[in-house]
Structure 1
Amino acid sequence: MAPPITFGTAWRCVGAHRRYGNDLPLWLCDEPPAAYSDAYKRARGMLVGIGYSWTDRGHSEPRLLACWWDLGVTVDVAALRVEVDRVVAEAAAEREAKAVAEQERHERDVAQTEIAAPPIRAALRALLQERPWALGRSLAEARDLAAAETWTSWGLRSAERYLSNAAGNILRAEERLGRPAPAAWFARAADEAVRVAALEACRALSARDEDWAAVQNGEGWSQATTWTGHVLSERESLDQGQAAHALGLLHGHRRQLSDEACIACFGEAPARRRRPEPEEQPALGF
């Protein structure tokens, strides 16, 4: 005997299994439709009474499957179908009402947000155009948000957070440049040629810093130096203190610089790692 109603999906018999001390035929539904879940929630007592439930028997799935135990009871299928149809329709109507209410709430949210959004959107787009490095790991998300035609209040708050974090990153970089520079670098930065070379080297590293230190790839600035490095790169010229800080940052990335740039900045080229020679291949004899 098959389940009295199938809820529009397939059921399979997996033989007899123990339940409440009896061996009963068990039917399983691997992918129960929403109608089954709705009916089980709203008419659970009725369905359980005629054998419908969820079980871990008769299968090896890491979850409970919808099931029907053949209890051997007589079922008024017509009356069962009427009740199931009724509760399933109720559930569908409630979902529809919730969806309509959610859509109306969303539309109100968008309309209210668009009153405040234009200046924030403009500021975010300007930041993306002029100083994308300041956004750090939020860059991709900020780009997606700036490209969106409409924002919700969540989008507006996100944009404000991106702008605030970027401003904080820039401020921290400026504060770092305002601290006393290491004496050795400060003395070397007294030479105008060194200051010019340091600025050029900063710009070269910034140009290579395409991911703004989001990925450790040996290209451009590191996460510890990216904000300060980009702030320095934006200067038209560097004073002695700024150049000294630049030399300190550049020294940690000197292997990315050309020998000429290193000599101009530090007075010497860095020791380059030698590439291992390819192993000689044995001659083939014929």
Structure 2
Amino acid sequence: MPPLDRPPLALGLALAPGYTHHARGEDVPLWTAPVASPAFLLAMKRLAATMRAAGYLHFHVGTLGMRPIWWPARCVASPAELAALQADLDRLVAADAAAAQDDAARRAGLAAEVAAADRAAAEAALPRLAALVAASSWQLGRALPEAAALVRDGITDSFSVGRALALIRNADGVRERAEIALRRLPPEGWLRLAESADVRAAALEGCRYLSDLDEDRASRSNDAGWGQDDTSIGHLLAEREELSREETAHAARLLHHHRRQLPAELRSRLFDTVPGPATAPVL
């Protein structure tokens, strides 16, 4: 069989002659392609022996790097063998394409299921978000306008799904961090002040008073309501039905910092009815 003068299989490669390979003291002309095609890589993986018999290789070419190669002198396959190789390759490519299509359809189905589940969860969570907007807006902070718009407009697209769930998750995080802060032991001086039932009642009243003033949820420096460092704890305390001794100690410490905003009568009930804590500054 006379040697072939061009590659017998296309394989999606831009093969071109002109490269001379030096092997065992001989100059061997090769055809090279700059990039390996999917069909070529699939054939080299699944039909390696017959591809080599057809003269196809994949190796580093001088300074060019890894390249697909057709080596004319190594093409020893007969026309029948080349035809069989092409048929085998066509079947492999078709099967690979079908598998990729099936995988894409499976992934799309899973994505649709996840999206539907997320949308259902977001819609089910809207009443919770509405409750936060209405009664615990401090947990939403600067995101309150966005949350209120979501409650008003409902779930309309994938973005609103993600935002509704994220807003609730973030709000829960704000409350949890405030609860953790309240579990820290307050200084002994504030605990002594909190022994009085009258002080405990006044502390709760003071927390509610400052929380009512805190319309901006400490987003602006305006000497009205809580500060950025204590707004979450202050609002959380204001929601309590009554304050424990430890909670009162935390409340008294925060209220003392904001005491100038409190009515004089409330300030007196908090800090004048019993000896003040050793750690508190002089009023």
- TM normalised by structure 2 equals 0.54
Q: Identify unmatched segments of 5+ residues in structure 2.
A: 1-111, 274-280
Aligned to 2:109: none
Identity in percent:
41
Deviations 1:85-139, CA, capped at 9 Å, x for gaps: xxxxxxxxxxxxxxxxxxxxxxx99x94654432122221121122111101111
- Answer yes or no: is the 8 Å Cα contact 1:199–1:238 preserved in 2: yes
Aligned to 2:211: 206
Asked if residue 247 in structure 1 is aligned to residue 252 in structure 2, the reply is yes
Asked if residue 258 in structure 1 is aligned to residue 253 in structure 2, the reply is no
Q: 2:157 aligned to 152, 174, 187, which one?
A: 152
- Counterpart CA distance in 2 for 1:262 and 1:150 is 46
Aligned to 2:201: 196
Q: In the TM superposition, what is the alpha-carbon distance from 1:150 to its structure 2 partner?
A: 3.7
Alignment of 1:169-180 (within 5 A): 169-180=174-185
The 1:271–1:243 alpha-carbon spacing in structure 2 relative to 1, beyond 3 Å, is closer
Q: Identify unmatched segments of 5+ residues in structure 1.
A: 1-107, 273-286
The 1:239–1:149 alpha-carbon spacing in structure 2 relative to 1, beyond 3 Å, is closer
Q: In the TM superposition, what is the alpha-carbon distance from 1:205 to its structure 2 partner?
A: 0.6
The 1:149–1:166 alpha-carbon spacing in structure 2 relative to 1, beyond 3 Å, is closer
Q: 1:182 aligned to 187, 191, 195, which one?
A: 187
- Aligned AA (1:218): D
- Answer yes or no: is the 8 Å Cα contact 1:207–1:220 preserved in 2: yes
Root-mean-square deviation (Å): 2.5
- Counterpart CA distance in 1 for 2:258 and 2:145 is 26
Aligned to 1:237: 242
- Counterpart CA distance in 2 for 1:160 and 1:141 is 12
Deviations 1:165-184, CA, capped at 9 Å, x for gaps: 11111011111111101111
Aligned to 2:5: none
Q: In the TM superposition, what is the alpha-carbon distance from 1:234 to its structure 2 partner?
A: 0.8
Deviations 1:56-106, CA, capped at 9 Å, x for gaps: xxxxxxxxxxxxxxxxxxxxxxxxxxxxxxxxxxxxxxxxxxxxxxxxxxx
Aligned to 1:219: 224
- Counterpart CA distance in 1 for 2:248 and 2:266 is 14
Q: In the TM superposition, what is the alpha-carbon distance from 1:200 to its structure 2 partner?
A: 0.6
Asked if residue 132 in structure 1 is aligned to residue 137 in structure 2, the reply is yes
- Answer yes or no: is the 8 Å Cα contact 1:173–1:231 preserved in 2: yes
The 1:188–1:158 alpha-carbon spacing in structure 2 relative to 1, beyond 3 Å, is same
